[in-house]
């Protein structure tokens, strides 16, 4: 199974532009040929592309420095140097590109096939043929190529899922995901089985109104997670992407915490990390109904009644309560996923150039 990596620090550098050429026409019977130095080629860009084909930043873990190809210098006989090949880097959807020094968010790649130029290649220098005038017919200079751009950036992946499963470790999130989708997360009766997000696709409704909903099984939280304890911030940053949270609490007697205490601990950790999460829709679900402790079941029922929230109980092993939960989930989610727009000046599509094609 590929290693899940959701953060990487790299240095990127675009290609320098090729220098313009200083050259003069030298042919038999042409004793005083004019300048014929060609232009240098443009340096390659560093381009990031969002793709659904990748789910981890593992490719960048052992590649700390990435450079595009420089442009070639111009040559005599008005020959233009080749453009440098751009470096195109595919990243999973949901990848954020941040300035390593300031922490400023530069780009947020959420659209499939959106192409973001992070470092632009240097322009090609003009050859001496461009500098001939009526009073300066033999210019002995050309223009140097443009400088490259270099940055230190941080890549952060926040999984793209409409529904996030949250709760204490071993609350039954992975079992639920494996029951309602075709995902196969690791499941065991000890905490921290899930060490990174697992994604599954849930089919809601029937054709022609069928909807595909991506669900993320997120690693369990413990007290102090917003300070980095346990899986800490590695988990919390993924919660920010989701549209709705399914908050699972364990009703079995094996759990150390009661359902209300477990709910409040996880809730407080999320809000300490990002207070805006309080605005996110949340559905509280009691799990392991088939082995529920009566006192804990009564505790959760009383709490939800005071809150004016529905009592939702499920057993992922027997399937009890799942149809009702999926119906509530379908009613809570908007009918269409939100569209995240990348500004036009950050996206390139039709203006791409192949290496070796000179600028006009």
Residue 85 has a pLDDT of 96
Residue 196 has a pLDDT of 55
Tell me if 187 sits within 8 A of 161, measured CB to CB. Answer: no
Looking at the DSSP assignment, which residues form a beta bridge with residue 65?
11
Residue 55 has a pLDDT of 77
Residue 234 has a pLDDT of 58
Query: What one-character-per-residue DSSP string does 62-109 give?
Result: T--EEEPPPPPPPBTTTBPPPPPPPEEEEEETTEEEEETTT--EEEEE
pLDDT tens, position by position, 336-357: 444 333 333 333 333 333 334 4
Indicate the domain borders of the chain.
1-157, 163-332
Residue 233 has a pLDDT of 52
Looking at the DSSP assignment, which residues form a beta bridge with residue 7?
156
Residue 169 has a pLDDT of 80
Tell me if 7 sits within 8 A of 1, measured CB to CB. Answer: no
Residue labelled with tokens 């030298």 = 26
Strands 105-109 and 95-99: antiparallel
Residue 210 has a pLDDT of 67
* Topology of the domain covering 163-332: Rossmann fold (3.40.50)
Residue 339 has a pLDDT of 37
Same fold flag, 1-157 and 163-332: no
Residue 212 has a pLDDT of 74
pLDDT (tens place) for every residue of the chain, 360 residues total: 445 677 899 999 999 999 999 999 888 777 778 899 999 999 999 999 999 888 788 889 888 899 999 999 999 999 999 999 999 999 988 899 999 988 899 999 988 888 999 999 999 999 999 999 988 988 999 999 999 999 999 998 887 778 888 888 888 888 888 888 875 544 334 444 444 567 777 877 666 666 778 888 877 554 544 444 444 455 677 778 788 999 999 999 887 789 999 999 888 888 888 888 888 889 999 999 999 999 999 999 999 999 999 999 999 889 999 999 988 888 888 654 443 333 333 333 333 333 344 443
Question: The domain 1-157 is classified under which CATH number: 1.10.3720.10, 2.70.210.12, 2.40.50.100, 3.20.10.10?
Answer: 2.70.210.12
Residue labelled with tokens 């020094």 = 101
- Whose CA is closest to 20, among 146, 142, 148, 147? 142
C-alpha to C-alpha distance for 268 and 132, rounded to whole angstroms: 72
Residue 184 has a pLDDT of 54
C-alpha to C-alpha distance for 287 and 249, rounded to whole angstroms: 6
For residue 325 the two structure tokens come to: 């939960």
Dihedral pair phi/psi, residue 138, rounded to 5°: -130, 65
Residue 206 has a pLDDT of 64
The three-state secondary structure class of 269 is helix
Residue 343 has a pLDDT of 38
C-alpha to C-alpha distance for 164 and 216, rounded to whole angstroms: 5
pLDDT tens, position by position, 199-228: 777 877 666 666 778 888 877 554 544 444
Dihedral pair phi/psi, residue 235, rounded to 5°: -90, -50
Residue 186 has a pLDDT of 45
- Whose CA is closest to 188, among 202, 206, 172? 172
């Amino acid at each position: 199974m590929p290693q899940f990596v959701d953060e990487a620090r790299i240095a990127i550098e675009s290609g320098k532009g090729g220098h313009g050429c200083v050259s003069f026409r030298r042919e038999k019977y042409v004793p005083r040929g004019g300048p014929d130095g060609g232009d240098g080629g443009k340096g390659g860009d560093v381009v990031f592309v969002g793709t659904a084909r990748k789910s981890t930043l593992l490719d960048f873990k052992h590649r700390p420095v990435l450079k595009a190809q420089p442009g070639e210098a111009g040559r005599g006989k008005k020959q233009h140097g080749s453009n440098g090949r751009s470096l195109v880097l595919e990243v999973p959807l949901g990848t954020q590109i941040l300035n390593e020094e300031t922490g400023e968010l530069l780009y947020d790649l959420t659209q499939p096939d959106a192409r973001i130029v992070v470092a632009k290649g240097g322009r090609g220098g003009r050859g001496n043929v461009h500098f001939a005038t009526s009073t300066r017919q033999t210019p002995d200079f050309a223009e140097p190529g443009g400088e490259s751009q270099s940055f230190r950036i941080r890549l952060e992946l926040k999984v793209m899922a409409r529904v996030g499963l949250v709760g204490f470790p071993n609350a039954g999130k992975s079992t639920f995901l494996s029951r309602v989708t075709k995902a196969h997360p690791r499941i065991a009766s000890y905490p921290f089985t899930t060490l990174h997000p697992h994604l599954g696709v849930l089919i809601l409704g029937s054709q022609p109104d069928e909807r595909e909903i991506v669900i993320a099984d997120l690693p369990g939280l413990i007290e102090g997670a917003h300070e980095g304890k346990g899986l800490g911030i590695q988990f919390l940053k993924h919660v920010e992407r989701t549209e709705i949270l399914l908050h699972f609490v364990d009703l079995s007697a094996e759990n150390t915490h009661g359902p209300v205490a477990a709910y409040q601990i996880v809730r407080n950790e999320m809000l300490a990390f990002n207070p805006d999460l309080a605005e996110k829709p949340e559905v509280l679900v009691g799990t392991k109904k088939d082995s529920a402790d009566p006192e804990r079941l009564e505790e959760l029922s009383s709490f939800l009644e005071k809150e004016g929230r529905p009592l939702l109980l499920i057993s992922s092993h027997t399937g009890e309560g799942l149809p009702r939960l999926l119906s509530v989930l379908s009613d809570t989610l908007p009918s269409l996923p939100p569209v995240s727009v990348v500004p036009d000046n950050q996206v390139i599509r039709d203006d791409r150039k192949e290496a070796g094609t000179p600028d006009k």
